Each structure stands twice: as C-alpha cells, then as structure tokens.
Amino acid sequence: MIAADVIERVLTTARARGASFAEVYCEDRRNVSVSFDDGRVDQVSNGRDRGAGIRVVRGETTGYAHTADLSEASLLAAAQAAADAAGAGDGGSHTVSLDGREPDRGVRRKVAVSPLDVTKAARVALLEAANDAARSVSSSIVQVSAGIGDSVKRVLIANTDGVFATDEVTRVLFRVSAVADGDTGMQTGSESLGYTLGWEIFDETSVADLARSAADQAVLKLRARPAPSGQMPVVIAKGTGGVLFHEACGHGLEADHVAKGASVYAGRIGELVASPLVTLVDDGTVPGEWGTRSFDDEGHATRRNVLIRDGVLVDYMWDHLRADREGRPVSGNGRREDYTSLPMVRMTNTFVLAGPDDPDDIISSTANGVYVARLGGGSVNTATGDFVFGMREAYLIENGRITEPLREGNLIGNGPQVLSDIDMLGHDFDMGGPGTCGKDGQGVPVGTGQPTLRVASLTVGGTAA
Amino acid sequence: MTSELLDIADAVVGAALPGEQIEAYVARGSSTEVRVYGGEVEHFVAAASEGIGIRIISGGRTGFAHAGTLDLTAIHEVLAEARENVAFGTPDEWAGLAEPDGVATIDQELWNEQLAGFATTDKVALALELESITKGLDSRIRVDDANYVDGGGEAAIVTSTGVRRHGRSNACHVSVSTLADGDGETQTGFGFSIGAHPGEFDLERAAQEAVDRATRLLGARKPPSGRTTVVFDPLVTAQLLGVIGSTLNGEAVVKGRSIFAERLGDDIASSAVTLIDDPTDPRAYTATDTDGEGLAARRNVLIGAGRLERFVHSSYSGRRAGVPSTGNGVRGGYAGSPSAGCLALALEPGSRSRDDLIAGVGDGVLVLSVSGLHSGVNTISGDVSVGASGIVIRNGVLAEPIREFTLATTIQRLLSDVVEVGSDVEWLPMRAAGVSLVVGGVTVSGTS
C-alpha cells in the first residue's frame, strides 16, 4: 500500500518535533453488502475505503491526523499535522529506518473462499433462500429481512518502536430477522452468523436453518407473557451469555478506564473479584472467531490473556499507550474502528471457561427463576459497575422446569456483585454470535462465549408483579 | 450555484444512460477533537474526510456504491459498480429518486464564520478551562475527561430527476465527564454545552450539571419494586422521543413494522402530547434546510394533542404510501443511501417548571438517566425495559437517590400515560430536544 521508503520519511517527519513515538496505520478495505427486505432485494452496494492515520505521542499528548490520499505529499502533510497536534517540541532530528526489512506477516489465517471470488448472484440466492425458509415456518410471519455483508481489509502498520506489520482480514456476516403478527401484537426474532473467515462459513451452517430459527423465535413470542419484575435466579444458556462478562467486567478491565480510576476493578489485582468458578479469558487468536486478528490495530500479535483465574483478578487488557506508561508489555488489545480512529484498549474474543456442573442440573436445581435462551446487547458504566443486558428469548423456570416464554426486557446488575453471585457453571461451552462493541463512538467486532451458568440473584426488568 | 462538489455531482449525473435515474451525493468535511485530562491534552485529532455515494435506479431496481475519496478514477469505479449492482436488484414499482416538489427551503444559518476561524490554541484552552472549572466546584469530583469537538463540511446532491443542492454547515460543542467519590463508591456524571460558535458556550453550566449529576447519586441504593409515576429528566425524554420517532417512520409503516401502522387519525397518546419534527427550527442541534434526498426540510406535526396526524416519509416510503415525501429522507453520509427518519423532534412544552411537576407528582421517581435502550426497547413489539438511576420523590419533594433498577412499560402505554409535559425545553446535541415529562403507571424492578 505504501512503499517502505515513504513510511520511513513519514515517520521521520512525524517524529521531527521531539515526539517519543510515531506510527502510521494504513488500510484498504473493500466491502459488498446485499440487503433483502419485504420480499425483494432491497439494495446491492459496494464500498471502497482507503486511507492512513498518523499518530504522534509527545509527553502526555497524542496527536492524530488522517488522510484518504495515500500519496507521499499527503501522508507527509498528515504526519506534520499529527506532530503539530501533539505539540511543539525541541525539534531534535530522529531519522527513522526500517532497515530494509520485510513487514511481519504474522499468522496467516487461511480463507478457503474469498468473498472477492463470490458472485453477487450467489449472495442474492442465499438471501432468497433465507426469506423463503423464514416465511415457510408459519402464516403468522408477516415480514422478513436479511442481509449479507463481507469485507476484505488489508492493513499496514509501522511505528518508531520497530513494529512493521501487514495483514489481510476477511470477514463475512449474515443476519436475518422475522416479524410475526398475532392477537397480542407483533413479535420479532433474529439470528446472525459471522466469522473472520471467507464464504466457507456457509458450508457448515445453513442460512435456511438460521432463518427458520429466527421465525420460530418470533412465533413463539406471540404467546409470551410479560416478564416478571424483581430479583430472582437467572440461568443463561451456553454461548449467548458471554455479553454478560463483556459488560459485567470486560470493559472494567480495560487499562484506560483503570488508569483513570474509572473502573470498579482498579487496584484489585490479586483479589477475589468473582466466584471461584470463574476463569475469564480474552483471546484474539481463536481461529475464525469474530474478534480474531493476527495483529491488533497497533501491529502487535494478538494473544490469549487470562484476566480472571478461579475468581482472582490476574491482569487488565493493554494497548501501546497504557502499557508504555506502566512500563509493561502490551497484550494485543489495541484496536480501532478504521484509519480515521485512534486506537484504544478493546476486547477481542472474551469468554468464560467451562465449569463443573451438568447443564440440566442447573435448571432442575432452580426452583423458580428465569431461563434466558438468548441474550441481546448490553451496556455498562465501568465506574459504578452497573450494567444492563437484554433478554431476546427467555422463559420462566417453575419448580425446576422451563415453562412459559416471556416478552423481552432488560436484566440489570452490578458487575462485581453478579460475578460473585455465579453459583453454578456448566461443563458445556459455546461461543456466541458476532457482536459489535461500542466505545467512545468506535465499533469493533468482538466475540463472546460461556458455558450454561446461573446467577443466584439478578434483577429482571419486566412488568409482571 | 457552483462548487467543486457540485461539478463532480453534475458530471456523474450527466453520465446517466437512457432509462437510468442517477443520484450523486458528494461530501467533504473536517473535524477537530481535543480531549484533556489532568491539565494536559490527552489527545488531539485533526480529521479530514471526503467521499461520494452514487445511487442508480433502472427498471425499478436499485444499485448503490460509495468510495471514501474524490479521486477521479475511484469515482468512475463507483459509477460502474453502482450500475453493475442494479442488475442484481428486484424490480420495485415504488423505487425512484426524489423529485422537486415545489416546497421552498427555509434559509438557515448553518455556517458560522467565527467557528470556522476559531484558533486551535483556543480550542485546547476551552477544554482545559472546562476541566478546571468542573474540578473547582466540588472536592468530591474527579474529571474523567473534558472535550472540545467541532466539525464542518460541505455537501452536494444532484439527481437526474432535477434535484440540485449544495450547502455547508459547521457545529461545535464541549463536554465533560465526571466521577464523584463517596464512602466506598463512585458515581458518574456529564455535562455539555452547544452553540453556533464557542462564544455561546456556557462552561459554568456544563460543569455544574456534570458535578450535580454525579454527586446527586452518591449513596444511592436499589429501590423496592412497584408501579409508580416518574418524571423523566429532559435528556431521558429526548432519548425516549428517538425511540417513539422510529415507530412513526414511514418506511417501517409501509413494510408492516410499526405498531402504529393502521392508526392514522386515532388517539394514540394522552392529549398532553403534541410531537413535532421540525428541522427548520434554528434552535435544534440538527436543524437543516434540506433532507438527505435534497428536498426542503419542513415542519411536520406527527402527534397533535394525542392524535396521530402523520408519519415521516422519504420519497420512497411516501410514494409507496400514496403521499408526498415529508422531507424526511435521512442520510448517514456518503457511504449509505437515504431512508425515512425523524430529523429534529420536540414535544410541545407545557406551562409548568420541573419543580412544579415534581411537587404535583407527590410520590414517584425523578429519572435522571436510562441505559440499555438498544437492548431493552423493541419498537416492533413495543416492549420497553431500561436500566435507570434517579431520585425518589416523596410528598412532592426530592428525597434519596436510587440506582440499579429498571423501568418497564410499552411504547403504547408510555404515550397514553403521559400526564404532563414541562416548560423546560432543552436543546441537546441529539436528534430530539429534551423536556421534563411526567408519565404514570411505570413498573420499577428493584429489590424483591
């Protein structure tokens, strides 16, 4: 994307005013999206986004500038702007050299079928199949929408600490949602499938099955009753509940929140912060997962990082800036949405390892409560630990048995409290669907996973007494 | 009317083949973001972007492509790709671009020269001053970050159906996030100020609000469950209006996804509710003279004294519903094509202050913030369940703070259960204005 000698000159310019660190991040992204709605192809769309962001750190200040023009003149202008933004310095000369190195290519993820080799007609055919399958479930299905989005992104990252890395990232995402209409009004169901892989993901999973599942959820909820309100035991099905940990503690373990004392987990390394059943891992290397990358967006290899082991807080997650200030290694968690964005500490794939309990026993030993078969999104206030997450498909548990379906609602809890209230953890495990994590206006793809588990007491936000 | 962006858009539209409708949207912009922490600049981002989105409709089929550059070769590629994408569409008898409808635009002062000429050092100084003022107000307060943000740009839209517009706008705001430390706990708050230019900022007010929001919640506990009357803070009301607006979206209506699809002319809300979408009101943060399809922005009464008067329509949803566009095509930049949506919502204010509303409620909850709107509100089923924090209202006065509870109702009930709208309209950096709102019959989930 950019020649090595140009990178050297850009980094040299960026450092010219006494900066301690300079970085160039360049990306070239092609994407295709096809949306299907209301029985027809809604839109077929192509995108091409290409540009570079230059980061300069001087003292406590980070300067950032970006450009969509990859000519040397424009890159040098961006480097100058970033250096200016970081503040004036003594102007010492620091010539940056890549020493004729080839960029590090990291672990190449094998993509069997690149989306670049798939016809748009094939995309349309998949969406038609999904539409037909969802509508065949029941005459009460009144609306179906589906979409496929895929992207192939090449990135090049170089910095004055010696990082020189290149990567190609392919992602494919399919989603389907259905609306059912009945005497009680309308209800919705949805499914999604997303991997950091190519078109081969559709060999293993049938879009028609996903579409039928989405339609089944919507139809089932037509007979759902209002969710209860108040505190009660909540059992969460494997795979779907990783978002609980993402919100209940994941964000609070990001070193930027910790450094500012804006996390309930600040200063608690070595302490018991969760039930001893809980071992929490953030791992950007899991093959093909939605949050997986060879490198993070600062050019550092992703890793498997144990954050909580047997309930004890082991470590936080780190990007370049926070690790540098603490004089410790990075953890491969410096991520950004695109070249227009500053990197921050972010999660990759965050999951809890399997525990000792039989999943069926978890339900049968729960006298009364709620079983959540499918969670939606959530959000957290890292400073207070209070977080919410949505129940998209849930049931009452009565006398140790799953009974009536419930309407949607949020669950609310406090991170440290909920983590210590996990009193059963299944020996099953699954990763959940693809997620987008939002922080400071930037969205990045993340994965989550967990075994079936029980929280002894959570507040269910329904309307029933 | 000439500009480089218009020239580019004209050239693209001039390449239309027989039977094709072409729309070119070309934009260029820049922005600054300054974040300070601990008396130092934490980061300074100088951003510049440009791009083009091209929509082609032929034989009822729609194709779209975009590129984040105005490089000539790239524009040719985008045009070719949009054209290729048409072939994969399904014919849709209502597909089509907007056509000039004779509605005149209302001129707005969307560009401010003072802001455009505001010096970088002054931007940094403002953020530092906001941080300093905030810290000085209360010894329990730490500042998480203080920010100065501005952005400006120009855009041109040209269609083969006769739309041809060009305009520019800029905007700025400052914000501050706070942490208040109490007895073994921390609470958070924020405050902000908006203005046509930085001279209009009220830093003291933003700082005071950020301090109050955090300190008021110190000592908060989880409340008992029950059904109660709530007073929503203006910011919360604005968030709820965004949700309500999406159920009045013409595209959701024609595709059978709105709970109010069959209810035009019916009473769907309490008579206290008059909801207006008016991007021509210059006080609105999202004020504009044209919509995303290049039609004149206009004032639309959506709910009048409780009665559902109208949905917001783009040219597509309007054509399909058999009504004209209401000037509500919303475009999220050059990378997407427009769809129907509200532009600048506001409730018609009532006559009483927030204090009077609270006194009138007797017993209830003042709701200061809500969370989980994206996960707990389903605009198709109407279910609403959000996390919340606030202050108990007892005998008409504010009592102890509460947190970690949920509020649940449905969108339909929420509208019907509106008791009163306050007089305290606040223009927020959102697509909806805020105002205090009293709603009865809301379920609180807390302890037991």
For residue range B12-71, list pLDDT tens digits in order: 999 999 999 999 999 999 999 999 999 999 999 998 899 999 999 999 999 999 999 999
End-to-end CA distance of chain A: 61
pLDDT of residue A241: 86
The answer to whether residue B390 neighbours chain A at the CB level (below 8 Å) is no
Q: Which residue of B has its CA nearest to A39?
A: B90
Is a pLDDT exceeding 70 seen at residue A342? yes
Show Cβ contacts of residue A110 under 8 Å, excluding neighbours closer than 6 positions: none
pLDDT band at A95 (very low <50, low <70, confident <90, very high): confident
Average confidence (pLDDT) over A390-402: 96
d(CA A240, CA A334): 25
| Helix or strand holding residue A320 (H, E) | helix A320-326
Burial grade of B261 (CB within 10 A; 0-12, 13-18, 19 or more): middle
Instruction: Give the pLDDT confidence score for residue A465 in this predicted structure.
Output: 67
How confident is residue A87, by pLDDT bands cut at 50, 70 and 90?
confident
**Mean pLDDT across chain B, nearest whole number?**
96
Q: What is the pLDDT at residue A92?
A: 55
Cα distances (Å, whole numbers) of residue A53 to A7, A336, B49, B350: 12, 11, 12, 49
Mean pLDDT of B240-269: 96
Indicate the pLDDT class of residue B81, thresholds 50, 70 and 90.
Answer: very high
Strand partners, B174: B148, B193
Residue percentage of chain B with pLDDT more than 90: 97
A221 in contact with chain B, both atoms CB, cutoff 8 A: yes
Q: What is the per-residue pLDDT for B248?
A: 98
Please state which architecture CATH assigns to domain B4-215.
2-Layer Sandwich (3.30)
**What is the pLDDT, as a whole number, of residue A451?**
97
Q: In Å, how far are A221, A367, A451 from A363, measured between CA atoms?
A: 21, 8, 13
Q: Is B47 on the interface with A (CB under 8 A)?
A: yes
Alpha-carbon radius of gyration of chain B: 24
All residues at 6 or more sequence positions from A123 whose CB lies less than 8 Å from its CB, including other chains: A32, A34, A44, A148, B88
Which band of pLDDT confidence, cut at 50, 70 and 90, is reported for residue A105?
A: confident
pLDDT band for position A94 (cuts 50, 70, 90): low
Confidence (pLDDT) at B119: 94
A284 within 8 A of A302, measured Cβ to Cβ: yes
Residues in chain A closer than 8 A to B408 (CB atoms): 227, 229, 409, 461-463
pLDDT given at position B390: 97
Between the CA of residue A460 and those of A223, B405, B414, what are the distances in Å? 19, 9, 19
Task: Band the pLDDT of A49: cuts 50, 70, 90.
Answer: very high
Q: Are B301 and B309 in contact (CB under 8 A)?
A: yes
B209, B79, B222, B80: which is closest to B134 by C-alpha?
B209
Closest CA–CA distance from residue A88 to any residue of chain B (Å): 12
Chain B residues with CB under 8 Å of A39 CB are 90
The per-residue pLDDT for range B319-361, each reduced to its tens digit, is 999 999 999 999 989 999 999 999 999 999 999 999 999 999 9
pLDDT at residue number B2? 65
H/E segment holding residue B22: strand B20-37
CA distance A285 to B444: 42
- Contacts A–B by Cβ distance under 8 A: 259
Provide the residue ranges of all domains of chain B, joining segments of one domain with +.
4-215, 226-239+349-445
What is residue A108's predicted lDDT score, i.e. its pLDDT? 63
Calculate the alpha carbon distances from B412 to B236, B270, B382 in Å: 17, 10, 7
Nearest to B40 among A48, A61, A120 (CB): A61
* Residues 31-90 (A) with a CB less than 8 A from some CB of B: 34, 37-51, 59-69, 81-82, 84-87
A145 vs A128: CA distance, rounded Å: 10
DSSP letter string, A103-117: PB--SPPP-SS-GGG
B64 closest CB neighbour out of A43, A82, A412? A43
A307/A310 Cα distance (integer angstroms): 10
Give the per-residue pLDDT at A428.
97
Q: How far apart are CA B441 and CA B417, in angstroms?
A: 7
Q: What six digits make up the tokens of A237? A: 């099905």
**The overall pTM is greater than 0.80:** yes
Q: Which CATH number fits domain A115-153+165-221: 3.30.70.2190, 3.30.2290.10, 3.90.1150.10, 3.40.50.300?
A: 3.30.2290.10
Give B406→chain A minimum CA distance, Å.
5
pLDDT class of A88 with cuts at 50, 70, 90: low
Q: Which of A450, A386, A363, A362 is nearest to A251 (CA)?
A: A386
- What's the rounded Cα separation, in Å, for the pair A268 and A290? 30
Q: What's the pLDDT score for residue A104?
A: 87
With cut-offs at 50, 70 and 90, classify the pLDDT of residue B138: very high
With bands split at pLDDT 50, 70 and 90, how would you rate the model's confidence at B397?
A: very high
A173: tokens are: 């995402």
Neighbours of B212 (CB within 10 A): 17
Name which of A421, A25, A6, A441 is nearest A232 in CA terms: A421
Q: Specify the domain boundaries for CATH 3.30.2290.10 within chain A.
A: 115-153+165-221
* Whether A453 contacts A236, CB under 8 Å: yes
Looking at CA atoms only, how far is residue B302 from chain A in angstroms? 22
Mean pLDDT value across residues B226-235: 97
Whether residues A386 and B387 touch (CB distance < 8 A) is answered with: yes
A26: helix, coil or strand?
A: strand
Interface of B with A in 286-305 (CB under 8 A): none
Q: Which residues of chain B have a CB within 8 Å of the CB of A124?
A: 88
**pLDDT over threshold 90, residue B236:** yes
Asked whether the predicted pLDDT for residue B79 surpasses 60, the reply is yes
Please give the structure tokens belonging to residue A367.
């006298």
User: SS in 3 state form for B288-315?
Assistant: CCECCCCCECCCEEEEECCEECCCECCH
**Cβ of residue B423 closer than 8 Å to a chain A Cβ:** no
Helices A72-86/A4-15 angle, 10° precision: 20
Structure tokens at A259: 């450094």
CB-closest option in A47, A62, A124 to B335: A47
Task: Give the number of other CB atoms < 10 A from CB of residue B397.
Answer: 12
The answer to whether A41 and B90 have CB atoms below 8 angstroms apart is: yes
**What pLDDT score does A102 carry?**
83
Contacts by B201-205, CB closer than 8 A, 24 or more apart: B201/B126, B201/B173, B201/B174, B203/B126, B203/B129, B203/B130, B203/B133, B203/B174, B204/B133
The β-bridge partners of A245 are none
Check whether A12 has a pLDDT greater than 90. yes
A90 — pLDDT class (breaks 50, 70, 90): low
The DSSP result for B419-442, as a single string, is EEE-S--B--SSSB-B--EEEEEE
